[in-house]
């Protein structure tokens, strides 16, 4: 059975209606300050670098030198006008439950000797290349003034798009729309509702549980693979709950109880009991360190309350988006139905996301040509990839946008396509 069909079966009995609302879910917009600098007509998009401190649980270790070389190469190119980083530049989420979470300053210091920070600093210092950073979920707290100042000081000249809700979006020519993509996902969208004064969603705590498992188990577990594993397997969720002393069996319907069962099962799988506490060190306005049980109660209605928070996708689609189906969010933006028009300044022809760690390219021909591309990631367990957009002016005021998906080490793009627009 296909994953989508499986989830549809599990979701039976839960009506899925797209809704308005969601105060604070409109990201800060940014229009680039450079365009068509002399001879420079390419935009380079990367995401999900996941720089972290040096640890057995960190996602970017072996690929760090490759990333540094890539950034050095971008800096020497004569065709690049702008480098856009679509989120998860820094990662203060992936830290074992009992560890003090790293600060952004800790992370930057840890990625100096491997060459990544100096290489990005060099690009930021290049007067011919603009550098723009758009917030993701793993660096959601970059909106805080102290964190934004740390990033700005480390990378002078970088434009930082991170608003008070942990969101941001990049746009150009009323054609290109680019953001990390986390606001369309159930577990990782900014959560300013479940806990007063907080922003971190349940996905933050799942990431820390995965880090604990990585530390104890001798192999890296990423949040996307952990969510994919447990959300798709009620039987495995039941197995871990029963091992932890819970009675009863997890049903086949996705509801609030199922989401909390998934969280508790992941906690037990990671080697933590419900009374174990997350060391928060007052991060995100936590006055006290919460237990796993506290977190389960805090987020116990994120599914049923989704409709009052999110203004674009329904709760069922939000789960699929966390399992790597962000192309449906892009397709919705291409269609731009009346119910979401107020949330976007234009109907894009090109949409770029990150977040899923899965590089993707989707071209639609027809009366209106559209392209969705996912930049992929640079973490050790995945192919290293990025997206480039070449912009050329044509006849009669038309502008051509050639979108290419690249994999590190390749001499030509994996996929490529062009859309034209009356400028």
Q: What is the 3-state secondary structure (H, E, C) of the chain?
A: CCHHHHHHHHCCCCCCCCCCCCCCCCCCEECCCCCCCCCCCEEEEECCCCECCCCCCCCCCCCHHHHHHHHHHHHHCCCEEEEEEECCCECCCCCCCCCCCCCHHHHHHHCCCCCHHHHHHHHHHCCCCEEEEECCCCCHHHHCHHHHHHHHHHCCCCEEECCCCCCCEEEECCCEEECCCHHHCCCCCCCCCCCCCCCCCHHHHHHHHHHHHHHHHCCCCCHHHHHHHHHCCHHHHHHHHHHCCCCCCCCCCCCHHHHHHHHHHHHHHCCCCCCCECCCCCHHHCCCCCEHHHHHHHCCCCCCCHHHCCCCCCHHHHHHHHCCCCHHHHHHHHHCCHHHHHHCCCCCCEEEECCCCCCEEEEECCCCCEEEEECCECCCCCCEEEEEEEEEECHHHEEEEEEEEEECCCCCCCEEEEEEEEC
Number of CB atoms found within 10 A of residue 17's CB:
8
Question: Position of tokens 């203004």?
Answer: 311
In angstroms, the CA 174 to CA 420 distance is 12
Print pLDDT tens along the chain (423 aa). 344 443 434 443 333 222 233 434 557 665 655 444 668 999 999 999 999 999 999 999 999 999 999 999 999 999 999 999 999 999 999 999 999 999 999 999 999 999 999 999 999 999 999 999 999 999 999 999 999 999 999 999 999 999 998 999 999 999 999 999 999 999 999 999 999 999 999 999 999 999 999 999 889 999 999 999 999 999 999 999 988 887 777 777 889 999 999 999 999 999 999 999 999 999 999 999 999 999 999 999 999 999 888 779 999 999 999 998 899 999 999 999 999 998 899 999 999 999 999 999 999 998 899 999 999 999 999 999 999 999 999 888 899 999 999 999 999 999 999 999 887
Structure tokens at 88: 């998860």
pLDDT at 20: 30
pLDDT at 15: 30
Strand order, beta sheet including 370-374? 29-30, 169-172, 176-178, 350-353, 370-374, 360-364
Whole-prediction pTM: 0.92
Judge whether 237 and 262 are in contact, CB under 8 Å. Answer: yes
In angstroms, the CA 208 to CA 210 distance is 5
The domain limits of the chain are 28-188+325-422
Q: What angle do CA 121, 222, 373 make, to 5 degrees?
A: 65
Terminal Cα distance for the chain, rounded: 46
In angstroms, the CA 341 to CA 346 distance is 8
Number of CB atoms found within 10 A of residue 146's CB:
10
Look at the alpha carbons of 132, 136, 142, 143 in this order and tell me if their dihedral is positive or negative: positive
Judge whether 311 and 25 are in contact, CB under 8 Å. Answer: yes
Number of CB atoms found within 10 A of residue 233's CB:
15
Rg of the chain, C-alpha, whole Å: 21
Judge whether 359 and 375 are in contact, CB under 8 Å. Answer: yes
Structure tokens at 32: 């680039």
> Which is it for strands 360-364 and 370-374: parallel, antiparallel or unpaired?
antiparallel
Domain 28-188+325-422 part of CATH 3.30.430.20 = no
User: In 3D, which of 170, 186, 189 has the Cα closest to residue 178?
Assistant: 170
User: In 3D, which of 293, 357, 305, 365 has the Cα closest to residue 97?
Assistant: 293
pLDDT at 30: 59
In angstroms, the CA 234 to CA 261 distance is 9
């Amino acid at each position: 059975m296909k994953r989508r069909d499986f989830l549809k079966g599990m979701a039976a009995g839960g009506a899925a209606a797209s809704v308005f609302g969601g105060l604070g879910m409109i990201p800060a917009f940014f229009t680039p300050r450079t365009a068509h600098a002399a001879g420079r007509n390419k935009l380079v998009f990367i995401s999900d670098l996941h720089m972290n401190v040096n640890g057995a649980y960190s996602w970017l270790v072996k690929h760090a030198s490759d990333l540094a070389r890539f950034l050095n190469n971008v800096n020497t190119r004569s065709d690049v006008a702008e480098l856009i980083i679509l989120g998860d530049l820094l990662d203060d989420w992936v830290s074992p439950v009992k560890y003090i979470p790293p600060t952004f300053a800790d992370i930057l210091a840890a990625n100096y000797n491997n060459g990544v920070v100096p290489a990005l600093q060099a690009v930021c210092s290049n007067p011919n290349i603009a550098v723009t950073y758009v917030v993701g979920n793993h660096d959601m707290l970059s909106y805080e003034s102290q964190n934004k100042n740390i990033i700005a000081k480390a990378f002078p000249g970088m434009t930082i798009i991170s608003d008070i809700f942990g969101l941001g979006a990049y746009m150009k020519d009323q054609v290109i729309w680019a953001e990390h993509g986390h606001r369309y996902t159930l577990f990782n969208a900014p959560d300013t509702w479940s806990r007063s004064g907080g922003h971190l969603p349940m996905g933050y705590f799942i990431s820390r549980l995965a880090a604990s498992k990585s530390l104890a188990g001798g192999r890296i577990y990423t949040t996307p693979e952990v969510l994919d594993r447990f959300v798709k397997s009620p039987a495995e969720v039941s197995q871990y709950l029963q091992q932890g002393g819970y009675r009863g069996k997890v049903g086949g319907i996705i509801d609030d109880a199922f989401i909390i069962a998934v969280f508790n099962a992941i906690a037990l799988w990671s080697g933590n009991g419900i009374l174990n506490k997350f060391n928060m060190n007052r991060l995100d306005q936590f006055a006290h360190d919460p237990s796993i049980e506290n977190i389960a109660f805090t987020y116990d209605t994120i599914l049923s309350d989704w409709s009052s928070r999110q203004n674009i996708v329904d709760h069922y689609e939000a789960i699929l988006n966390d399992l790597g189906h962000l192309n449906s969010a892009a397709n919705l933006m291409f269609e731009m139905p009346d119910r979401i028009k107020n949330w976007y300044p234009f109907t894009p022809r090109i949409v770029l996301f990150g977040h899923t760690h899965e590089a993707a390219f989707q071209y639609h021909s027809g009366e209106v040509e559209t392209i969705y591309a996912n930049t992929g990631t640079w973490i050790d367990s995945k192919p290293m990839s990025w997206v480039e957009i070449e912009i050329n002016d044509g006849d009669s005021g038309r502008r051509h946008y050639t979108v290419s998906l690249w994999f590190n080490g390749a001499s030509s793009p994996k996929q490529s396509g062009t859309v034209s627009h009356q400028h």
